[in-house]
Each structure stands twice: as structure tokens, then as C-alpha cells.
Chain A
Amino acid sequence: MGIWTFRTYVSPQGEEEVTTWYAAQTPNVQAAFDQRIRALWQMKPQEWREPYTKQLEGPCDGLIEIRFKADRAQQRPLGFYGPGGMVFTIVLMAREIGDRFEPRDACEIAQARKADVLRNPVQFSHVLAVE
């Protein structure tokens, strides 16, 4: 019943970004992520705005952050719309501490991964199931 397809970045070594991050999280963070993705899955494009997501600028221009809080941390999965219509690809699972991303070079990493995915979606991304 969702209207979006979510994808996760896959490294050249075959490691799925979201899957790897997810396995290392507490049940509370996992549940928060699952429910936020599920909510976004059913939201129309015009509903993808704060407080659920935010369009980024500057070094992160062209990227979108998904926003949710769990275990007292501001979680910030970074991604972009595409490849293709009604697709969102998560390229980096970042956090926001203060007014900075962790990792500090999150924008640069995410931009490079976005380029990889757009160049070769099959190699650099997998579909992410929504629970």
C-alpha cells in the first residue's frame, strides 16, 4: 500500500549501508527507523517535508535528510530522490550532533555515493523492504 520504493546504498564490497547500520542499533532505534520509513512510504511527495524530512543545501545540495529521534539522538539518514520516479535511495546513515553531522564529512560521502548509484543503480543500490 506504499507509494514509494526505498533503496539502500551498496558499497563496492557489497555492504548494504542501511542493513549494516540497522544491525548495530538498539531495538528502540530500529523500531523508530522502521516506523518512520513506513510513514514516509505512504506519504505523497508534497508531504515529504519537515518535521519528517528536510531538503539540504550547501555541501549537501541535492540531498534529503530523513529526520527522527531515538535513544536521545537525532538520526539523519541521508539520501536522494531516485533513480527513477517515486524512489528514494538512502546513501548514508548519519546523525546530527549540535548543528553538525556525524560523520563530519557526511555531505561529501553522501554526494559521492549518490553519484555511484546514479551511474550504476544495480551495482550500488538494493531495494529496501518496508516493514
Chain B
Amino acid sequence: MSSAIQYSFPTSLPWSEKLVSKLSEPTYRHAYMVHGVKNWIARQVRTLREQRGWSQEGLGQQTHKPQSAISRVEDPDYGKLTLQTLFDLARAYDLPLLVQFVEWSDWLSRMSDSSTETLQKEGFSAEALTDVGAGQVLGDVARSLYIDPFEQNTISGFTYHSANVGGAIGFLTAGTINTATVGLVYGNLIAHAQPITEDDEEQDFEFERPFHKAFSQSLEPGWINND
């Protein structure tokens, strides 16, 4: 059996080559970021409000602001949103606010999915914080690696290791860890693939987080869980 490992760059990045070309122009790049943030914040404020079943007046009461102020905040073209207002909203929603400068790949990745489900967030829960399983942690890491954490294949009771790192994570999130040992050690994701045949070598893959390129390994059939 060939032990060649083929690495390929992902074809599922959340941005297109055309967008990268546009972003190469500084004025457009900055404007793209500004309008992206405005759209996101306005939409998320509304989504979070509706998730809680509040009217604009209701959210206004929570934040000690008039309904008109809430309406402005929910307008993506409103350009005078302050950090204090965001703090007030965060208190009302019982959510933390993350404000930081990041690199473009990180920003584009984080901003790529603005679906309602992604914008909705739950308030504080001590139970949720203490019950964070490896699956959720690794799911977050998988997202930062731009790989699908739920991809997996099963053949005749064996877990066929398609060798996609996401697949390994998927196994762990599903509660099975036999296919590979995936751990989060000091912020680095380590995937250890277990070969089944004597001729195959064990492989350790360590990725720094955040990692901007997903590795897609195409292992030969035969890399099957042997636990």
C-alpha cells in the first residue's frame, strides 16, 4: 500500500478569487470592512432582539433608550454607533462583546456566515460553560480551520478514516474517538491517525490555531480504525 500523503489546499474557502482581487484595492478593502461591520451589528442587534421576543420599545426599556434609538442602531446605514451603546446592548442581551483587530483571513471567515442561526446567541449559562465538551471546542477549532466538523464515513462497522482532519473531529463530536485521537493541547490541534496495517505509519498532524488553510489528506483505503 502506498503511504503517500497528498495535501491539497481547500476549495471551500468562504471567499472567492474575485473578492480577493477586489480587496487588493485599499479603498475598497477598507470600505468592505466598514460596511460589513455595520451590516453585521445592525442585523445582529435585531436578530437578538427578535430571538428574545422583544419589541424595539422593549429593548429600549432594557437599555434605557428610546425606541427611536433602537431603530437607529438596527439601521445598517447608521454611522454613529458607539462602543458604550454596544456595551448597553450586551448587558441587555446578557452577552459578551468581542472587539478586536484581526487579520483579514480571520475576519473574512468570521463574517462569512451571517445567517439568522449564526447571529442568534444565548445569554449566560453556568451550566453551559461547565459542560463544554471536546466536541464544541473542537467544533470551534474546525470552523477556524474551514473544515466541516461533521464529515465522516462508516463502512461495515468500521470507521473509514477518509483522513480529512474534519472527519476526525467529526468522530469526536459524535462521541466516538476511536478513529483518531484529537486533542487540544495548549491551543494547538493535534490529530493522530491510527493506521491498521503494519506497513502504514502513524501520523501526527499538529496545526497552530488559527490555521488558515485546511489540509485535506487523501489516505488510501485501509486506514481504518482498529480499536
Chain B binds chain A: yes
Residue of A32, A47, A67 ringed by the most chain B CB atoms within 10 A: A32
Identify A68's interface contact among B18, B19, B76, B113, CB under 8 A: B76
Q: How far is the CB of A131 from chain B (nearest CB, A)?
A: 5
Whether A27 sits at the interface, judged by CB under 8 Å, is: yes
Q: How far is the CB of B142 from chain A (nearest CB, A)?
A: 16
Q: How far is the CB of B23 from chain A (nearest CB, A)?
A: 9
Bound Cα distance from A31 to B111, whole angstroms: 14
Chain A residues, CB < 8 A from B112: 1
Identify A27's interface contact among B14, B27, B36, B76, CB under 8 A: B27
Chain B residues, CB < 8 A from A119: none
- The DSSP consensus for interface residues of chain B is helix
A5-13, A35-43, A85-93, A97-105 - the one binding chain B: A35-43
**Nearest A residue to B113, CB-CB:** A1
Report yes or no: A35 in contact with B27, Cβ–Cβ below 8 A. no
Chain B residues, CB < 8 A from A35: 32, 35-36, 38-39
Chain B residues, CB < 8 A from A69: 77
Bound Cα distance from A43 to B39, whole angstroms: 12
Q: How far is the CB of A75 from chain B (nearest CB, A)?
A: 10
Q: How far is the CB of B64 from chain A (nearest CB, A)?
A: 23
Bound Cα distance from A76 to B13, whole angstroms: 31
Identify B39's interface contact among A30, A39, A70, CB under 8 A: A39
Chain A residues, CB < 8 A from B34: 31
Bound Cα distance from A31 to B32, whole angstroms: 5
For A, the interface residue count at a CB cutoff of 8 angstroms equals 24
Report yes or no: B32 in contact with A34, Cβ–Cβ below 8 A. yes
Chain A residues, CB < 8 A from B32: 31, 34-35
Bound Cα distance from A51 to B77, whole angstroms: 9
Bound Cα distance from A30 to B42, whole angstroms: 20
Whether B25 sits at the interface, judged by CB under 8 Å, is: yes
Report yes or no: B31 in contact with A32, Cβ–Cβ below 8 A. yes
Given known A-B contacts A131-B18, A131-B22, A39 and B114 have beta carbons under 8 A apart: yes
Q: How far is the CB of A130 from chain B (nearest CB, A)?
A: 9
Bound Cα distance from A36 to B112, whole angstroms: 13
Whether A129 sits at the interface, judged by CB under 8 Å, is: yes
Report yes or no: A51 in contact with B76, Cβ–Cβ below 8 A. yes
